[in-house]
Chain A
């Protein structure tokens, strides 16, 4: 096309990272394409990234700051918006202390750097993210076990890949994208899939382990049992690098295969076969997803999978689970200035005593915030600033989240659209999409790359999130900021010897990989070994060994509920065209997936007279929502699998149908169901019932 300028950049429609070429004509983005030279995505690009122009130029996108006056949104200037927020924050600090302000974000996005820097300089220890049950929980658990997050080394050509509770071809597996897995798989690697549902990968697997939802920890014990009993472990590694082996073995022996079979519902012969295939095929890696983290066993599940990698000698070897070496740039943790937060303020972190691992990784679990807002205990939360998050849709017990956000005295929201969460706010700040920003992308990740995200256009008065935190920080009188975002990027890149201008020409940086780092310097734990027996958990007065706990609402733990709620709900089925609660307003994507889908077994459908495509009511002890039934014989008849993240931008009232199909109306956030050290919320497994909706009174 005539007059088209091409800008090489990096997507961030999910967590980000895929290489893109942005086509700009007359100051407007007309197209995006995959970048064939990207080391992360090799030219492929998903529907979410490809539809970015429809999101960025959406007629309902908010392109200027706003404040709410008498229940109505009014356009204001950035100057007024920042003044409103900073004046309110100063008042809260004067009257209650900075800890009464909560700064929050949703899914992992790389503005974490600037968000945490702002919060730490503000002096609040209360940063609310999704990390308590997604990814950061994995980092925390592996940090205390083996010093770092072990990531599948697809480029190292694993010969056996275990996909444990992850649909990585649709969702973003946080580090590498599914495309890299696929390349490794197509080279002929064996495939083991752990999933209650027969998805695309389970259908292809050499072994599919169809477990009862929520029993992953028990299944991992089953693997370990076989590996230890049949001496399939790497004796040399165990002897040199495992701390607490004999205690660990004793714990594993508490889970003989018969017990594991009765808990998981997976036939014991198949478990043994899978364990043998994983332990004897070298190298092998385990790719895991958030379902194992979004429940009561979060930390121990992560620790058990790490144990599998360690005892089979697959830790930090080519094609195993490795610790990628980051490129020489400042770390997100250094940039975030965690050391600026005083010990006195840190001690005030909500839930720090109850959830020491969450405290260790500097975040809070949501319910402590809702409780502090609604009860004023242990101290009141008076103001919030939320960036790129829609907790009314995405956090457990949505009704309580809605009540709390409605009740909080002051709420400022950074987003693209007036989401159900943003509608509850007092000030709205319009964020730039990834088309409109300069950034060292992916620098919070652990895959060994940073990628240049380049600004192609500016739209309206939108600011990139990083700039919002920087300018608000300056307004608050914080002196550790720069004149421009690019100055902060220069600081970030300094150790590499590159400026932002030089880096963006280069496109990306890769760390120089070294394997088997433990042979030189051990593991970064207190004992220098892989702590299957955790000295840190012991110091915290917790069980130093992993164990399996039954989720609080299952057929085994609550047989009394079965009569009213006979089915096991597996919530949070991923959707390829959406990312959590995002994108429902994008026409190209909504055309593909217009309605929320719940999968049920054909036998269940027959029993209740439900037809394919019919709207059904799903109920738990917390409430009822509606979704559309799809029949799938690849799940157990007692299991029901439902999508998450649903609201309806086309419903005009400010609630935008937040409680119509939102699966978190059904989930529970009772702390009894939390991971005991991380505070991970159960977003996945609960009991439910289903019934057809006869008249389609739907949206």
Chain B
């Protein structure tokens, strides 16, 4: 698997929040952590989500090496190692890191790793009515940016 990530083309996000609910359902999350979140400022909408950074500050800030970027470029939390100190929540420049009150651990987007293994798209990408969320490797994302910006 190539290193992959997702990008939200904000100009096409119309604020329906389908991505959020698809994510909640896929990860079996109750009220609280929002691994992708749409912020409303009508007529525009902005998404807060994990960019799976090449040098993830969340991982760097973790005192217990509970956050790792795996061979596929997916930044993941090892829940059994997380001590719930929330250093990563402070470190993330995108505000994407979330905290699970029930489990007392940090939680974050894992790009629906279990879906990728079945060749399915991440849940948020799969439902977006305006196809504003794009998933691919660095090259795909670069090409998509170019094709969307230059009509």
Residues of A within 8 A of B (CB): 31-34, 41, 43-47, 50-51, 53, 169-170, 177-179, 182, 188, 198-203, 576-577, 587-592, 599, 630, 632, 634
Residues of B within 8 Å of A45, CB to CB, are 18, 22, 127
Given contacts A34-B127, A169-B130, A182-B129, contact A200 B21 (CB under 8 A): no
A382 to B42, CA, bound (A): 47
- Cβ–Cβ < 8 Å partners of B30 in chain A: 587
**A47 is contacted by which of B16, B45, B151 (Cβ under 8 Å)?**
B16
| Given A33-B126, A50-B127, A587-B31: A576 touches B17 (CB 8 Å cut-off) | yes
Q: Which 7 A-B pairs have the closest CB atoms?
A: A203-B43, A44-B129, A50-B21, A47-B21, A179-B129, A576-B16, A200-B14
Tell me which residues across on chain A come within 8 A of B24, comparing CB atoms.
588
Are B25 and A632 in contact, CB atoms less than 8 angstroms apart?
Answer: no
A–B pairs, 13, beta carbons within 8 Å: A34-B126, A45-B127, A50-B25, A199-B42, A200-B14, A576-B16, A576-B17, A577-B21, A588-B25, A589-B21, A591-B31, A632-B42, A634-B42
Interchain CA distance A182-B128 in the complex, whole Å: 11
Q: List 16 other contacts, CB 8 Å, given A50-B25, A200-B14, A202-B43.
A: A31-B25, A32-B25, A33-B127, A44-B18, A44-B128, A45-B127, A46-B129, A50-B22, A170-B16, A203-B43, A203-B44, A576-B15, A588-B21, A591-B34, A592-B17, A632-B42
- Distance from A488 Cβ to chain B, minimum over Cβ atoms (Å): 32
Q: Give A670 Cβ to nearest chain B Cβ, in Å.
A: 32
Q: Which residues of B contact A31 (CB under 8 A)?
A: 25-26
Question: Is B15 within 8 A of A200, CB to CB?
Answer: yes
Known: A50-B22, A634-B43. Is A588-B31 also a contact (CB below 8 A)? yes
B41-80 vs A, Cβ < 8 Å mask (1 yes, 0 no): 0111100000000000000000000000000000000000
Q: How far is B30's CA from A51's CA once the two chains are assembled, in angstroms?
A: 12
Q: Complex formed: what's the CA distance from A599 to B25 in Å? A: 30
Residues of chain A with a CB closer than 8 A to B110's CB? none
**Within the assembled complex, what's the spacing in Å between the Cα atoms of A202 and B126?**
26
Q: A33-B126, A34-B127, A182-B129 are in contact. Are A47 and B42 (CB under 8 A)?
A: no
- In this complex, which of B17, B127, B131 has the most chain A Cβ atoms within 10 angstroms of its Cβ? B17
Taking CB atoms, residues of chain A closer than 8 Å to B43 are: 198-200, 202-203, 634
Q: Is B144 an interface residue (CB 8 A)?
A: no
B36 CB, nearest partner CB in chain A, Å: 12
CB proximity to A under 8 Å, residues B63-115: none
The A contact surface, by secondary structure, is: mixed
Partner of B127, one of A44, A201, A202, A576: A44
B129 touches A178 (CB 8 A): yes
Query: B129 near A169 (CB under 8 angstroms)?
Result: yes
Query: Quick one: which of A177, A587, A591, A630 contacts B129, CB cutoff 8 A?
Result: A177
Question: B10-39 vs A: 1/0 string, CB under 8 Å?
Answer: 000011111011101110001100100000
How far apart are the CA atoms of A32 and B6 in the complex, in Å?
A: 22
Contact A169–B21 (Cβ < 8 Å): no
Verify A53–B130 contact, CB threshold 8 A.
Answer: no
Instruction: Point out which of B21, B34, B151 has the most chain A C-beta atoms below 10 A from its C-beta.
Output: B21
A50 contact set on B, CB distance < 8 A: 18, 21-22, 25, 127
In the complex, A590→B42 CA distance in Å?
Answer: 19
Contacts of A179 in B (CB 8 A): 129-130
Q: Which residues of A contact B44 (CB under 8 A)?
A: 200, 203
Query: B residues within 8 Å of A by Cβ?
Result: 14-18, 20-22, 24-26, 30-31, 34, 42-45, 123, 126-131, 151
* A43 to B31 Cα, complex, angstroms: 25
Given the known interface contacts A31-B25, A587-B31, the answer about A47 and B128 at a Cβ–Cβ threshold of 8 Å is no
Closest to A34 in B: B127
Contact check, A200 vs B20: say whether CB atoms are below 8 A apart.
no
Residue of A nearest to B114 (CB): A1
Of B20, B45, B127, most buried by chain A (CB within 10 Å of CB) is B127
Contacts of B25 in A (CB 8 A): 31-32, 50-51, 53, 588
Chain A residues with CB under 8 Å of B45's CB are 200
How far apart sit A41 and B131, CA to CA, in the bound complex (Å)?
12
- Complex Cα distance, B24 from A520, in Å, reads 53
A448 to chain B, nearest CB (A): 20
Question: Considering only CB atoms, which chain B residue lies closest to A47 in the complex?
Answer: B21
Q: Which chain A residues border B34 with CB–CB below 8 Å? A: 591
- Nearest CB in chain B: distance from A34 CB, A: 5
Question: A411 to chain B: closest CB distance in Å?
Answer: 34
Bound CA span A41–B129, Å? 8
Q: For residue B6, give the distance in angstroms from its CB to the closest CB of chain A.
A: 16
**Docked complex Cα distance between A590 and B25 (Å):** 15
Rounded to whole angstroms, the CA-CA distance of A577 and B14 in the bound complex is 13
CB-CB < 8 A to A44: which residues of B? 18, 127-129
Which residues of chain B are within 8 angstroms of A201 by Cβ–Cβ distance?
A: 14
Q: Note all chain A residues with C-beta closer than 8 A to B127.
A: 33-34, 43-46, 50
Report which of B14, B31, B126, B151 forms a contact with A170, defined as CB distance below 8 A.
Answer: B14
Complex alpha-carbon distance, A591 and B17, angstroms: 11
| Shortest beta-carbon distance from A550 to chain B in Å | 29
**Closest-CB distance, A627 to chain B (whole angstroms):** 15
* Among B20, B42, B126, contact of A592 (Cβ-Cβ < 8 Å): B20
Task: Give the docked Cα–Cα distance between A437 and B74 (Å).
Answer: 40
The smallest C-beta distance from B123 to any residue of chain A, in angstroms, reads 8
Alpha-carbon gap, A43 to B22, bound state (A): 12
Give the docked Cα–Cα distance between A202 and B16 (Å). 16
Which residues of B have CB within 8 Å of A188?
A: 151
Give chain A residues whose Cβ lies under 8 Å from the Cβ of B17: 47, 576-577, 592
Q: How far is the CB of A508 from chain B (nearest CB, A)?
A: 19
Chain A residues whose CB sits within 8 angstroms of the CB of B129 once the complex forms = 41, 44, 46, 169, 177-179, 182
Chain B: minimal CB distance from A583 (Å): 11
Closest to A178 in B: B129
Q: How far, in angstroms, from A589 to B34 measured CA to CA in the complex?
A: 12
Residue of A nearest to B130 (CB): A182
| The one of B16, B26, B123, B126 that contacts A169, using a Cβ cutoff of 8 Å | B16
Check if A46 sits within 8 Å of B16, measured CB to CB: yes
> Which of chain B's residues have a CB closer than 8 A to the CB of A632?
42
Q: In angstroms, how far is the closest chain A Cβ from the Cβ of B65?
A: 30
In this complex, the member of A32, A51, A200, A634 whose beta carbon has the largest number of chain B beta carbons within 10 angstroms is: A200
Give Cα A32 to B126, complex, Å.
12
How far in angstroms is the closest Cβ of chain A from B99?
15
Contacts of A590 in B (CB 8 A): 31
In the bound assembly, the distance between CA atoms of A182 and B123 in angstroms comes to 20
* Distance, CA A599 to CA B40, complexed state (A): 12
When distances are taken between beta carbons in the complex, the residues of chain A under 8 Å from B15 are 170, 200, 576
Could you say which residues of chain B place their CB within 8 Å of the CB of A634? Answer: 42-43
What are the residues of chain B within 8 A of A199 when measuring CB–CB?
42-43
A582–B61 alpha-carbon span in the complex (Å): 43
What is the distance, in angstroms, from A224's C-beta to the closest C-beta of chain B?
Answer: 29
- A198 neighbours in B (Cβ, 8 Å): 42-43
On chain B, the residues within 8 Å of A591 by CB distance are: 31, 34
Closest chain A residue to B29 by CB distance? A588
The answer to whether B20 touches A169, judged by C-beta atoms less than 8 angstroms apart, is no
